[in-house]
Structure 1
Amino acid sequence: MTNHGLDLLHRPDLPALIARWHREVTPAELQAGYEQLLAAADAATCARWLLDLRRREDLTEPTVNAWFSQTFAPALRGRYPEAVRLAFLVSPMRAGQPVTAVVSAADTDCQIATFIDEAAAHDWLARR
């Protein structure tokens, strides 16, 4: 499935939902992509997501970060049988940039980590 510069693939064998942005997107397209990701995760009841942001230039867009931390992430609390795990895959050149705004543990039960190596991201997602 491709929309908003995004490809989604559910891999029950990993288990993970993989989201890859293949072009630079606007903040509105990024938010729409997250909503598309959420719909796919709901359909698969999959709480482990790999978000491939390696082609994105701006990982710290303030509007998207505020929306993510104040609206999107809190809506994930209790949505699946387990806490949502978000593995952000970034290019080594962007590894020092924060990917999302800080998400309070009081607001959501998300676990978030950033990786430059896809295998390491999948290993982290597979942990119980």
Structure 2
Amino acid sequence: MHLHGLDLLHRPDLPALIARWQREVTPAELRAGYEAVLAAADAAACGRWLLDLRRREDLTEPTVNAWFGAVFAPSLRGRYPEAVRLAFLVSPLRAGQAVTAIVSAADTDCEIATFTDEAAAHAWLAREG
């Protein structure tokens, strides 16, 4: 599926939902993209997501990061049988940028990690516990 500047693919064999942003997007498109990821994850009952940001230049859009930390991530609490695991895949050139707002473990059931290597991201998503 391709919408909001991203491609979505559910891979039950990994297991993961893969969201790849294919271009720069506006803040509205980015929020809509996260909502599309959530809808696809709900349909697949998949709480492990690979969010590929390598083609995006700006990883720190402030209004979206604030919304992500205050609204979106907390809405994931208890949504799936296990904690949601979000692997952000970034270009090594942008690895120093903060990808998301600080998300409190007390407010969400999310585990969040940033990777520059896709195989490492998939290994982290697939691990038990």
Residue-by-residue CA offset, 1:46-67 (whole Å, 9 max, x unaligned): 0000000001111111100000
CA distance in structure 1 between the partners assigned to 2:114 and 2:48 by the alignment: 14
CA distance in structure 2 between the partners assigned to 1:109 and 1:78 by the alignment: 7
Residue-by-residue CA offset, 1:74-114 (whole Å, 9 max, x unaligned): 00000000000000000000001110000001110100000
Instruction: Give the aligned length.
Output: 128
In the alignment, which residue of structure 2 is the partner of 1:24?
24
TM-score computed with the length of structure 2 as normaliser:
0.98
Segments of structure 1 that go 5 or more residues without pairing to the other structure are: none
TM-score computed with the length of structure 1 as normaliser:
0.99
In the alignment, which residue of structure 2 is the partner of 1:5?
5
Secondary structure, in 3 states, of the residue corresponding to 1:20? strand
Matched, 1:108 2:108: yes
Equivalent pairs: percent with the same residue? 85
Give structure 1 regions of 4+ aligned residues with deviation exceeding 4 angstroms.
Answer: none
CA distance in structure 2 between the partners assigned to 1:114 and 1:105 by the alignment: 16
Deviation at 1:35, TM superposition (A): 0.2
Matched, 1:127 2:110: no
Deviation at 1:68, TM superposition (A): 0.1
Deviation at 1:19, TM superposition (A): 0.1
Please tell me the root mean square deviation across aligned C-alpha atoms, in Å. Answer: 0.4
Segments of structure 2 that go 5 or more residues without pairing to the other structure are: none
Deviation at 1:121, TM superposition (A): 0.2
Write out aligned runs for 1:49-64 (5 A).
49-64=49-64
